[in-house]
Structure 1
Amino acid sequence: MKATAEKIDKNTVLLEVEVEQEKVDQALDKAYRKVVKQINIPGFRKGKAPRAMVERYVGTETLFGEAAEMIIPEAYMEALQETATEPIDQPQIDIVQGEVGKTLIFKATVEVKPEVTLGEYKGLEVTQPSSEVSDQDVEKELERLQNRHAKLVTVEEGEVQNDDVTLIDFTGYVDGEAFEGGHAENYSLTIGSNTFIPGFEEQLVGVKLGEEKDVNVTFPEEYHAENLAGKPATFKVKINEIKRKELAPLDDEFAKDVSEFDTLDELKSDILNKLKETAEKAAKSNVENGAVEAAVANAEVEIPSIMVDQKVEEMLNSMGQRLAQQGINLDQYFQYTNTSINDMRDRMRPDAERNVKNELVLDAIAKAENIAVSEEEINEEIQKIAEYVKQDAEIVRKTLELQGELIHINQDIARRKVINFLAENAKIVEGTKEA
């Protein structure tokens, strides 16, 4: 097989492929064996008519068309490899020469990955936040544990405090008139949760159990009910019940109750180690993200819209899978959120464009630095997938090959290696913990 590639536009390549006559003849034999089983020719049992008779009956063009469908996909893939062409869309195929007894010549016009003009990508300044963990950090985590495992105790008398869970009756009024949906009895509201209209919860702090209070608020301009958006309202509120968190003392018994440790010191040590691990991962991630952002900012590339469209659909599919794990589908989600699939596509597009540019730049750096993926690295990735899905690694490999997913695994590994390369070659500037 011979293949040539000619760039005919900025991101368009014309492949010309010639397949040897021997392969054409073999494909014609296969085509004959397929077609002869599908037709009835008078005087012959089904499937037994000679090839010459089949050619006369269905026409040589039909037989050659069947053969071409067998040859072209494989020949096209070989041509892509031979000419190092990276397509981003399906090709337009035109048969130039297609006759019995001759080579098959076809042309494939295909849109390809755009060229990336790389700028500086090594030695770029990147801030690495501090990964130090203080005693105060450990204490804060212990407080969170205390609050998570706190008991709610009913307050017999007293005033509402921040973080209290209250049961309230309320009726809302706009322009002196009660409005639809503005009334509830024994409504559970955690003070300070910011789940109610802004300013509402704060005004209940200090109100006594059983007391009534007029709460004055203004609905947000973007409030979902148009008839209330931006309008001032008064809520008549009564405090029916107050429940307050009762925190367990920080001692060995607390450690036993909330963890697998026997002492508070052991729990503190575990918290410290986990916080350090999290902080180190965050610092590493910050360096990697910063290095990629800097390299991408220094590169120039014109992104074809088809690549952005494909990335948007990929993101939509991923979102659909996540929603399915929660028991809802995309249609239900759009119904609940009063949006549409086109709204979501529009919102996803900027992120999709950014992701595509990142991937194109990472791929270009991989090529410039000869960063390749070994068979061992691919096998390790397949083994991880096999362990996750609890299947034999060889079965997983064959499935991925059939689905054409091995190339994506190769790309993912290569991009991760490039990200590590950029981080290792970055100029690290130590930052604060908040950086």
Structure 2
Amino acid sequence: MKSTVEQVSPTRVKINVEVPFDELKPNFERAYRKIAQQVRIPGFRPGKAPARVLESRIGRAPVLDEVVNEVIPAKYLEAVRADDLRTLGQPEFEVTKLEDREVLEFTAEVDIRPEITLPDFSDFTVSVDDVELTEAEVDEQLDELRARFGTLSGVDRPAENGDFVSIDLSASVDGKEVEEASTTGLSYEIGSGQLVDGIDDAIIGANAGETKTFTTKLVAGEFTGEDADVSVTVQTVKARELPEPDDEFAQLASEFDTLEELKGDLRERLGRVKKMQQGVQARDQILEALLERTEVPIPEKVLEGEIENRKHDAIHQFDHDEAAFAQALEAEGKTLEQFDTEVREESEKAVRTQLLLDTIADAEKTSVNDGELTERIIYQAQRFGISPDEYVQRAQQSGQLTAIYADVRRGKALAAVVRRATVTDASGAEVDLDELFGTDEAAEATETAAVETPSGELEETQVTDEAAKSADK
């Protein structure tokens, strides 16, 4: 086999492959065996008809098709490995010459990882917020802890913000009932913002047994973006009673004996969170600076795929009803043109980010060990509210384990850049990045917090027979 590579653009190549028929003997043998199993020929058991008999019965063309479909993906991958190409996405095949018993020639155009010149990481300087901790924030954390141990009691008064109510809901649009917006016995915390706009204003001040009406714009379902008349009946009103913040509560809610010890622990935890936030700020600013200073050519086919994925995900929420999707955008004050522009900008940034971080990871020789991969799996499983085993099973079924590994590797690569940068707080004091990155919490914050990357992984192509069948024969 002979292969040459033509650079079509900084992000795309054309691979020219020439395969003499002398190399295809094993492929022909497999093709004959496969076809013989599918063709019934009198006097021969299935799979036992000789090649010359098969060709006399069905012709040479089906055999050649079978061989070409098998050979092209295999020889393509062989050429990719020989030239050490970092391919992205699926190639576009074209058979340029097929002389039976002589030679097969084909081309494959495919996107590749572009060459990226990285800046000097030690030149980066960013400023993050000061770590400021107030007693009001500590008290807020204490109140949240008290709420976990609170009890609900019925009250004989109008509903107030923060109360828990049991409500019945019904809605209609132009007199037509909206079934998905109707329910009974729904428990709701006033002020939580978990239901439609306008419901809190309607409920506050209502007594048990009282019905209120209001108008709101629906954000999902058949009538997305349309005004609906909503009726809400308050069945019960309950207030949450919080335990007194004293030593007895500290002993109930924690391992501490006194309230002051509990507040001291909350204060320390809040301080760690704010330091982690400094790390996240530094990471985000340095990533933006990297993207500004580095030229990252974007493979057009990869960008098109990312745009398509994002649009598909957006409209999928509306059962692919384009009219309903357009109404939802209108409710947000957006047009389809604005949405398309935003998606393209986000996609371009996501593709550039991933290509850049992959290049940094290669330059830094970044690797991921089993413990780091397990930590990410546990983190992701907690986000989705499932067990790590179930998350791994789903990832295996969807082929996403490689993507998880790649994300961890990119996070580590970016963290390595942050460590080399100069980071100061708003007061001008240098932030101790070794201290930030030395704790598990900080590492998780800076390495696993979301970095905008493509929804589809940019990994080396795995060519299938289906891809080969798209070749222009």
Whether these two folds match at TM > 0.5 is yes
Taking a change above 3 Å as real, the CA distance of residues 52 and 250 of structure 1, as seen in their structure-2 partners, is same
* Residues 318 and 324, structure 2, Cα contact 8 Å, conserved in 1: no
* Residues 12 and 299, structure 2, Cα contact 8 Å, conserved in 1: no
- Write the letter of the residue equivalent to 1:284: G
- Cα RMSD (Å) of the superposition? 5.4
- Write the letter of the residue equivalent to 1:310: G
Q: What SS class does the counterpart of residue 37 from structure 2 fall into?
A: coil
Q: How many residues align?
A: 396
Structure-2 residue corresponding to 1:330: 317
- Residues 394-425 of structure 1 deviation map (CA, whole Å, 9 limit, x = unaligned): xx8xx96x976565455334422320122112
1:77-156 to 2 correspondence within 5 Å? 77-99=77-99, 101-102=101-102, 104-113=104-113, 116=116, 121-131=121-131, 133-152=133-152
- Residues 306-364 of structure 1 deviation map (CA, whole Å, 9 limit, x = unaligned): 323423455578789xxxxxxxx8346979x9426996974644433321121122234
Q: What SS class does the counterpart of residue 41 from structure 2 fall into?
A: coil
Structure-2 residue corresponding to 1:62: 62
- Residues 104-125 of structure 1 deviation map (CA, whole Å, 9 limit, x = unaligned): 4321122444555655654212
Indicate whether 1:288 and 2:296 are aligned.
no
Residue 161 of structure 1, CA deviation: 6.8
Residue 428 of structure 1, CA deviation: 0.5
Instruction: Give the whole-Å Cα distance in 2 for the aligned partners of 1:342 and 1:241.
Output: 33
Q: What SS class does the counterpart of residue 287 from structure 2 fall into?
A: helix
Q: What SS class does the counterpart of residue 28 from structure 2 fall into?
A: helix
Structure-1 residue corresponding to 2:301: 306
Residue 64 of structure 1, CA deviation: 2.5
* Residues 17 and 79, structure 1, Cα contact 8 Å, conserved in 2: yes
- Write the letter of the residue equivalent to 1:290: Q
The runs of 5 or more residues in structure 1 that have no matched partner are: 169-179, 229-238, 321-328
Structure-1 residue corresponding to 2:325: 339
* Residues 225 and 327, structure 2, Cα contact 8 Å, conserved in 1: no
Taking a change above 3 Å as real, the CA distance of residues 372 and 57 of structure 1, as seen in their structure-2 partners, is farther
1:346-365 to 2 correspondence within 5 Å? 346=340, 348-365=343-360
Q: What SS class does the counterpart of residue 364 from structure 2 fall into?
A: coil
Instruction: Give the whole-Å Cα distance in 2 for the aligned partners of 1:17 and 1:352.
Output: 33
* Residues 164 and 243, structure 1, Cα contact 8 Å, conserved in 2: yes
Query: Structure 1 vs Structure 2: percent identity of aligned residues?
Result: 27
1:16-415 to 2 correspondence within 5 Å? 16-19=16-19, 21=21, 23-99=23-99, 101-102=101-102, 104-113=104-113, 116=116, 121-131=121-131, 133-152=133-152, 163=162, 197=198, 200=201, 244-259=239-254, 263-312=258-307, 314-315=309-310, 330-331=317-318, 338-339=324-325, 346=340, 348-367=343-362, 370-374=363-367, 377=368, 379-380=370-371, 389-390=388-389, 408-409=403-404, 411-415=406-410
* Residues 27 and 67, structure 2, Cα contact 8 Å, conserved in 1: yes
Residue 11 of structure 1, CA deviation: 3.8
- Residues 283-328 of structure 1 deviation map (CA, whole Å, 9 limit, x = unaligned): 21221111111111222345345323423455578789xxxxxxxx
Instruction: Give the whole-Å Cα distance in 2 for the aligned partners of 1:404 and 1:164.
Output: 46
Taking a change above 3 Å as real, the CA distance of residues 341 and 287 of structure 1, as seen in their structure-2 partners, is farther
Could you state the TM-score of these two structures normalised by the residue count of structure 2?
0.63
Taking a change above 3 Å as real, the CA distance of residues 72 and 330 of structure 1, as seen in their structure-2 partners, is same
Instruction: Give the whole-Å Cα distance in 2 for the aligned partners of 1:428 and 1:372.
Output: 24
Taking a change above 3 Å as real, the CA distance of residues 250 and 409 of structure 1, as seen in their structure-2 partners, is closer
Instruction: Give the whole-Å Cα distance in 2 for the aligned partners of 1:128 and 1:23.
Output: 62
Instruction: Give the whole-Å Cα distance in 1 for the aligned partners of 2:278 and 2:420.
Output: 16
Indicate whether 1:424 and 2:419 are aligned.
yes
The runs of 5 or more residues in structure 2 that have no matched partner are: 168-176, 179-184, 330-335, 379-386, 428-473
Residue 37 of structure 1, CA deviation: 1.6
- Residues 195-247 of structure 1 deviation map (CA, whole Å, 9 limit, x = unaligned): 7649958996xx9x99x9xxxx9999x9955599xxxxxxxxxx999765543
- Residues 251-273 of structure 1 deviation map (CA, whole Å, 9 limit, x = unaligned): 13323444465543453344234
Instruction: Give the whole-Å Cα distance in 1 for the aligned partners of 2:6 and 2:134.
Output: 62
Instruction: Give the whole-Å Cα distance in 1 for the aligned partners of 2:418 and 2:56.
Output: 67
- Write the letter of the residue equivalent to 2:348: E
Structure-2 residue corresponding to 1:232: none
Instruction: Give the whole-Å Cα distance in 2 for the aligned partners of 1:412 and 1:277.
Output: 25
Taking a change above 3 Å as real, the CA distance of residues 35 and 332 of structure 1, as seen in their structure-2 partners, is closer
* Residues 7 and 14, structure 2, Cα contact 8 Å, conserved in 1: yes
Q: What SS class does the counterpart of residue 73 from structure 1 fall into?
A: helix
Instruction: Give the whole-Å Cα distance in 1 for the aligned partners of 2:70 and 2:372.
Output: 33
* Residues 152 and 243, structure 1, Cα contact 8 Å, conserved in 2: yes
Instruction: Give the whole-Å Cα distance in 1 for the aligned partners of 2:137 and 2:343.
Output: 36
Structure-1 residue corresponding to 2:468: none
Taking a change above 3 Å as real, the CA distance of residues 196 and 10 of structure 1, as seen in their structure-2 partners, is closer
Q: What SS class does the counterpart of residue 108 from structure 1 fall into?
A: strand
Q: Which segment drifts farther, 103-112 or 404-413?
A: 404-413
Could you state the TM-score of these two structures normalised by the residue count of structure 1?
0.68
* Residues 111 and 302, structure 2, Cα contact 8 Å, conserved in 1: no
Q: What SS class does the counterpart of residue 271 from structure 1 fall into?
A: helix
The structure that has the greater radius of gyration is: 1
Instruction: Give the whole-Å Cα distance in 2 for the aligned partners of 1:313 and 1:275.
Output: 41
